[in-house]
Amino acid sequence: MLVVMKAQATQEEIQAVCDQIEQMGFRAHPLPGAQRTAIGITGNPGEIDRGSFEDLSGVADVIRVSKPYKLASRDVKEEDTIIRFPGTDAAIGGQNLAIVAGPCSIESREQAFAIAEQVAASGAQFFRGGAYKPRTSPYAFQGLGVDALKIMAEIRDQFGLRIITEAIDNETLELVADWADVIQIGARNMQNFSLLKHAGRLRKPVLLKRGMSATLDEFLMAAEYIMSEGNYQVILCERGVRTFADHTRNTLDLSIVPAVQKLSHLPILVDPSHGTGKRDKVLPMARAAVAVGADGVLVEVHHQPDKALSDGPQSIYPSQFAVMMDEIEQIAPVVHRTLPRGIRVETGAA
């Protein structure tokens, strides 16, 4: 159920509707839009009597939402969600493309700084590196943990880049939330509902990667888990799915971008690194991702990929990243987008 407020509804009127919803034992999710505020209702086991709201002042309409995802749906919010980073000009969603780059794993301070310096020089606004790695083998490099989080915080101070890193469980979630600007939830955890709910109780943006075999509905329902707890800052990320095709590590499903955009207001990035697993396929698919209308791309970059402790074969060189930025910059206007170069950080907002 969705309560649509009149365009001129006051804050007090919106609050009164929320109070009424909470008094009924349900949860109210006011989502302000450009024209009007809509209030999503969750936690109701069945139909709610429309009459409970129709007569409240400021209410324009009461609508039944038929889709299983409500807060992630365009029914609740027509306009695209834009996630902003206070004190900077960076955003994910909206007119500007968001470019996320960095190594799969933070391996050392030197490695991380070498890569950060070069991706910042090419104009990336977001630096992503793994501190906690969900590896297929328990014997593979598991990440530097808190030390990596500290290195990334230094990188934010030095280059202004906003930091994205993965949390793999409820314990690392708290740590990542303390240090990073965006919490990544990886493909393997897309249906870890306990983790999704915990992330929903935080007030930090969450980058949610598509599960290896998740359908569109399952993907949006995972986002809904986070939003149902009150965290509406969800960024979706397509990273390829498992298919019979074996010329790439995964099959990058670019058609999910327009499919998501039709149903949901949430921004969606594309990760052609995990999506292909092969360095020579990353640039072509990054170009395609922008052309298809993605809100940005996430790529793995390493200055010495042959020595990388994880995902070396799919990591592009910093020189290739520079080429990718030039190419994306040219494609962007065709799809009515702009590629910002570099991040502007207000003094005191590091």
Which residue ranges make up the site for ligand PEP (CB under 6 A)?
Answer: 104, 130, 134, 186-188, 209, 239, 274
Residue 28 binding result from Mn ion, ligand PEP, none, given CB thresholds of 5 to 8 Å by partner type: none
163: Cα separation from own chain's centroid: 12
Closest by CA to 249, choosing from 315, 321, 166, is: 315
Nearest to Mn ion of 285, 339 (CB atom):
285
Q: What's the CA gap between 242 and 313, in Å, rounded?
A: 18
Q: What's the CA gap between 230 and 300, in Å, rounded?
A: 31
CB 42 within 8 A of CB 29: yes
Q: What's the CA gap between 236 and 206, in Å, rounded?
A: 8
- Binding segment for Mn ion among 29-37, 60-68, 226-234, 308-316 (CB under 5 A)? 308-316
Instruction: List, in order, residues 6 or more apart from 38 with CB less than 8 Å away.
Output: 2, 3, 4, 5, 30, 31, 76, 77
With binding defined as CB under 5 A, does residue 286 bind Mn ion?
no
> Least distance in Å: CB of 29 to ligand PEP?
27
> Least distance in Å: CB of 19 to ligand PEP?
40
CA 18, 22, 28, 30: dihedral to nearest 10 degrees?
20
* Touching Mn ion, residues 311-330 (CB under 5 A): 311
> Least distance in Å: CB of 178 to Mn ion?
23
> Least distance in Å: CB of 105 to Mn ion?
7
Q: Nearest residue to Mn ion, using CB? A: 104
Nearest to ligand PEP of 23, 136 (CB atom):
136
Nearest to ligand PEP of 58, 267 (CB atom):
267
Nearest to Mn ion of 111, 228 (CB atom):
111
Nearest to Mn ion of 50, 188 (CB atom):
188
> Least distance in Å: CB of 144 to Mn ion?
15
Residue 186 binding result from ligand PEP, Mn ion, none, given CB thresholds of 5 to 8 Å by partner type: ligand PEP
> Least distance in Å: CB of 133 to Mn ion?
8
Total number of residues that touch Mn ion (CB under 5 A): 2
Q: Hey, which residues does 96 pair with through a beta bridge? A: 338
The H or E element containing residue 268 is strand 268-270
Residue 209 binding result from Mn ion, ligand PEP, none, given CB thresholds of 5 to 8 Å by partner type: ligand PEP
Q: Nearest residue to ligand PEP, using CB? A: 186
With binding defined as CB under 5 A, does residue 104 bind Mn ion?
yes
Q: What DSSP string runs through 86-148?
A: TTBS-EESSSB-EEEEE-SB---HHHHHHHHHHHHHTT--EEE-BSS---SSTTS----THHH
Residues in the chain: 350
What is the binding site for Mn ion (CB under 5 A)? Answer: 104, 311
